[in-house]
Amino acid sequence: MSKIAVVYWSGTGNTESMANAVVDGVKSAGVEVELFQVDDFKADDMANYSGFAFGCPAMGDEVLEEDSFEPFFADAEGKLDGVPVILFGSYGWGGGAWMETWADRTKDAGAKLIGTVIAENAPDEDVIADCEKLGANLAKEI
């Protein structure tokens, strides 16, 4: 059976709210989904899933969170070839350059990038709806 893993890191709860909305979207499309904080998921676990939703806010100079998420994603990149993926996260400064860089990395790894959603600070109703829609779109790809 096809199943999606939603793997995220959140410092303030903003990206966690987005992750929960992605889960709702996947479920609405009738696909099995599991939610993980990044420290509870390893790249070796990826073989058990057909698609992924990765969530991480912008940190520092618009980069992925460096202690947990970046090392995980660096390991995961080698397992993304041909795999449907969505990316999401929040930011509090800048214009979202971290997401553009992350999307490029994901595509360069060979993933089928379905889409991205970003929120400036806390996600509003529109962003939550976008996350749900993106989760449903990911589910349709597996």
**What pLDDT digit, counting tens, does each position of 28-69 carry?**
999 999 999 999 999 999 999 999 999 999 998 889 999 999
pLDDT above 70 (res 11): yes
Backbone phi and psi for residue 138, each to the nearest 5 degrees, phi listed first: -60, -45
The model carries a pTM of 0.97
* 84-124 pLDDT per residue, tens: 999 999 998 888 899 999 999 999 999 999 999 999 999 99
Of 83, 59, 68, 65, give the one whose Cα is nearest residue 38.
68
Measured N-to-C along each axis, helices 125-140 and 14-28 cross at an angle, to the nearest 10 degrees, of 40
Q: Are 109 and 85 in contact (CB under 8 A)?
A: no
Q: Are 77 and 104 in contact (CB under 8 A)?
A: no
- 58 DSSP 8-state letter: -
pLDDT above 80 (res 1): no
